[in-house]
Each structure stands twice: as structure tokens, then as C-alpha cells.
Amino acid sequence: MILLDGKTVSQAVKDTLKEKTKDFRSKGNRAPHLAAVLVGSNGASETYVASKIKNCQEVGFKSSLIRLVENIAEEELIEAIEKLNTDDAIDGILVQLPLPKQINEERIINLIDPRKDVDGFHPVNIGKMVQGLPTFIPATPYGILLILEYYKIETSGKHAVVIGRSNIVGRPISILLSRNSYPGNCTVTVCHSRTKNLKEICLQADIIVAALGIPEFLKADMVKENAVVIDVGITRVADASKKSGFALKGDVDFANVAPKCSYITPVPGGVGLMTIAALLMNTLTACENKFDI
């Protein structure tokens, strides 16, 4: 079994980004600039956004954190985004999800200028992705592709089973794995909460992407020998032995599944780290597009 190490791969991606940014700036351009919008103070969102900002610094990007109160009115949030849309100094906009109940998430996502939508959530960018056109691929699926690529994992003709159909992970990765490119050319089955015979379907999989958000859902008896397992889950589970009071659990029963796999991602230290590296890649692309590079 080979561990797909998100730390190694994300560091390699960030090293490349650092070099590219240096090169870009040496030509007289300003640094790429990511604006992160954080509404309220959800613990997990705080952690993710802080990490995104820190990683921007590491690769030489500029970043701005726009903090807004939990009970903000939708119109006020819209105003803040419109300001970022028209600000020439901003290349990428990221609105951390989930948003509070009073906000219509779809309305907000649709409002972000697609050229600055480094999360790749805007319908225009999703449409381009489906058609295989150059666009911003959503960060988590993009991160998964980068891991597969780094470890040169064969995907052509393989049966990939994706568990989960979210707009952020399950749906886009199922489309990307079926593309006529590398990584891609898989036969893809999308499974979800209403799927019958999930175990039988998973047992046919050469590649399993577990993205349903239920800790340790994928058990060893659902995985065939030598499968590639990508664990996208990252749920906080109460754990009194930890200083933080919680442990991070993936969607895979790692201890029992790992010995059967050819490759597997750990949690933490797998896909989660790649998500940020992929977001930074999209931010550099947004900046380069602006300067027509």
C-alpha cells in the first residue's frame, strides 16, 4: 500500500507556484491577489480561511480577508462582493461556505465575476468544465487530479465509483474522471444516499472517491484488493484526548481499508492540503488571464 501524501504533493505544487510568481513579478507585474470573504465565525471555516491566507503568503501572493458579521443582511454581502468584482487589484474571490441561513448561497455564488471565481462554483465555470474548456476547476476535485497525476496513477479504462453528489466535490469529480484526458477516461458510477447495492458497486471499483461526509463510512468489505481510495471526508469528531477537543475523521475506515489498497489518501494529510494548493493554482491563473499571459 502506498500512502498518497498530500503534504508532499501540495508542497511540490506550492514550490512551482512560488517560482512562477517570482518569474511573473520579475516581469514587472504585481503579485496575484486573493480576497477571502468570511461571514460569521464558524470554527472549521475560520481554520480553513486562516490556512488559505497563510498559504498565499508562502507562495508570494497578496491576500485580503474580509470578515463580515454572522447576521449580515444579504444586500450588504452582495455590496461587498460587487466591490471586489470591480476592484482591479483583486484577481480571485473566495466566499467561504457554508453561509448563514438568511443568505441565499446560490445567489451569492452567481454574483461572483466568473473571471475571479477561483473556487470554480459559478455556473459559467461549471458549464465550461463540463464541456472540457479551460476554466477554474473546483479546488477539491482539482486537488484530487493533482494527486493522481503526481503519483502517475493509471485512470484510463478504470471503473471509478464516486460516493456523494455535492456541487463542490462528488458531481465535479465524476465529470472530470470521465473526461477524455489524463487523469480521466474512467467509467464513472456516481452513488449517493438512495443508491441500492452500494457495497456491490464499490466492490467493482478500481478507484473509489468517498465524499459523503460520514466518518468511517467506507469499510474494508466494500473495497476490492488493490483499489485506489481517495478520502475526501473531513469531519470533526469529539475527542477528549486532543487539546482542541476534536479529532478529524475521514469517510474511510482507514485502519481496516488501507491494507487492501494499492494507494490511499490519509485524513488529515491527504486531499485537504491539496484543496488549498489547487485554489492557489486557480488564483495564479486568474491573475495571468488578466494580464493576458
Q: Does 283 bind ligand GUN (CB under 6 A)?
A: no
Q: What's the start-to-end Cα distance of the chain, in Å? A: 41
The one segment of 89-97, 123-131, 150-158, 184-192 that binds ligand GUN by CB under 6 A: 89-97
Tell me the closest approach of the beta carbon of residue 98 to ligand GUN, in angstroms.
7
Smallest gap from Cβ 238 to ligand GUN, in A, equals: 21
Provide the grid cell at 130. 463540463
Binding residue for ligand GUN, selected from 140, 155, 174, 265, defined by CB under 6 A: 140
**Cα–Cα separations (whole angstroms), residue 218 to 1, 150, 201, 223:** 17, 24, 12, 8
The three three-digit cell numbers of residue 60, written as one number: 508570494
Could you tell me the three cell numbers for 169?
Answer: 466535490
Left if phi > 0, otherwise alpha if psi is -120 to 50, otherwise beta: which for 132? left
Q: In sequence order, which residues have a C-beta less than 8 Å from that of residue 48 and are 6 or more positions away?
A: 96
Q: Confirm or reject binding of residue 93 to ligand GUN (CB under 6 A).
A: no
C-beta separation of 256 from 223 below 8 A: no
**Which CB sits closer to ligand GUN, 139 or 144?**
139
Interface residue with ligand GUN among 38, 95, 227, 267 (CB under 6 A) is 95
Closest of 78, 102, 96 to residue 35, by C-alpha? 96
Residue carrying C-alpha cell 474494508: 220
DSSP state of 98: S
The residue within the footprint of ligand GUN, chosen from 139, 148, 163, 177 (CB under 6 A), is: 139
Judged by CB under 6 A, which stretch of 73-81, 93-101, 129-137, 154-162 contacts ligand GUN? 93-101
**Interface with ligand GUN by CB under 6 A: which range of 67-75, 92-100, 199-207, 233-241?**
92-100
Residue 119 bears catalytic tag: yes
Instruction: Examine residue 97 and tell whether it contacts ligand GUN (CB under 6 A).
Output: yes
Nearer to ligand GUN, 160 or 168 (CB): 168
Nearer to ligand GUN, 94 or 281 (CB): 94
Strands 235-238 and 246-249: antiparallel
> Which stretch, 94-102, 204-212, 217-225, 285-293, contacts ligand GUN (CB under 6 A)?
94-102
222 vs 279, which CB is nearer to ligand GUN? 279
The burial of 141, by beta-carbon neighbours within 10 Å (0-12 exposed, 13-18 middle, 19 or more buried), is given as: buried
Residues that bind ligand GUN (CB under 6 A): 94-97, 119, 139-140, 168, 275
Catalytically active residues are 52, 96, 119
